[in-house]
Structure 1
């Protein structure tokens, strides 16, 4: 895959060594962000998970994810080398509303993002999508397929999330390394297409 579109015309990443890119893994509470970072990272990921307690029962809504026992309270961090030209640094955001104040700092310097959604609880990812649009961070939507997830046509999901027609939607299993890697490749392709389009004369 050619990533020259990220650089100035006439210069390629081969001229300067591997390109490092910061990518956010965002989404609602319990959509699989930590799972994706763990499954795809080339290193042992840094996670900040804590056990859910009765004290959080009124603020962490577990509808559809009643078996969830742990939650991210700050961020997850991992990295993956897609090839000799591109290294992705992955930052997973906390999903609960009470930790959203951390998002502004985490998004600084991010080139793009993956927004994980759960079709059982689409509304849980509205805030993440709004944040991408507010901070003008390009993103792809990854529908994390759970065993009991209802299946909807892509266009129904696009309408329900009020997505731009050009925002890619892909399905994935966040537990599977190859599936998660494919999501990241889809994001990089999306970023490259946007970069190429920006260079074209209007």
Structure 2
């Protein structure tokens, strides 16, 4: 999805310092295969002008990158995307979008370092890409939620069917979203925060 069509915050974005009321900052990673909308999600929801590391796609990627469903995409993330959103006056999320092409996955370990949670963006046209993504998060012990990006030309399935297809355990949240819309992207992040809160309460109850 193209960030140019995204909803943005009213007024200009500025590289403001953190609000003086902020008490907690949390690192969240946005992961998924090539062209699932990670850059668009970070851009649509960030309250500061997002940092992107997009480069123009070249002939060198032909036969290497799987661009099915993203044939019109002309740029790709080669390092990371970065944004920030204040969930409350006291809680701030730092958002890190990962590169989607497999040849850049060696960067993921560094981006996962210190992450409290993750959003796995899914394209129903390429569900198989999601297994490697989720496997890497599980290996690192990073909790995640799954957000199905509703591309206009992608098939739609009931969430229960997608949960089964993705082999998700019952406690992992799965939802639909439109990453071009700020409110939809923020809803995904709020679901992640609720999921992380539930995990923390469960661990506290176990002592």
The reply to whether TM is greater than 0.5 is yes
Alignment partners' CA distance in 2, 1:18 and 1:181: 20
TM-score by length of 1: 0.90
Partner of 2:60: 55
TM-score by length of 2: 0.88
Indicate yes or no: 2:109 matched with 1:104: yes
CA displacement 1:179-202 (0-9 Å, x = unmatched)? 000000000000000100111147
Alignment partners' CA distance in 2, 1:78 and 1:201: 35
Partner of 1:174: 179
The worse-fitting range, judged by mean Cα deviation, of 160-169 and 176-185 is 160-169
One of 74, 81, 86 as aligned partner of 1:76: 81
Is the 1:29–1:95 contact (alpha carbons within 8 Å) kept by the matching residues of 2?
yes
**Structure 1: gaps spanning 5 or more residues:** 1-15
Indicate yes or no: 2:138 matched with 1:133: yes
Partner SS for 1:67: coil
**Structure 2: gaps spanning 5 or more residues:** 1-20
Is the 1:28–1:127 contact (alpha carbons within 8 Å) kept by the matching residues of 2?
no
Partner SS for 2:172: coil
Indicate yes or no: 2:91 matched with 1:91: no
Indicate yes or no: 2:37 matched with 1:32: yes
Is the 2:22–2:92 contact (alpha carbons within 8 Å) kept by the matching residues of 1?
no
Partner SS for 2:70: coil
Indicate yes or no: 2:71 matched with 1:66: yes
Alignment partners' CA distance in 2, 1:140 and 1:44: 25
Alignment partners' CA distance in 1, 2:67 and 2:201: 42
Is the 1:79–1:88 contact (alpha carbons within 8 Å) kept by the matching residues of 2?
yes
Alignment partners' CA distance in 2, 1:59 and 1:160: 26
Partner SS for 1:120: helix
Alignment partners' CA distance in 1, 2:115 and 2:86: 17
Indicate yes or no: 2:148 matched with 1:143: yes
CA RMSD of aligned residues (A): 1.2
- The runs of at least 4 consecutive aligned structure 1 residues that moved more than 4 Å come to none
Partner of 2:191: 186
Alignment partners' CA distance in 2, 1:96 and 1:59: 9
Q: Matched residue pairs, number?
A: 187
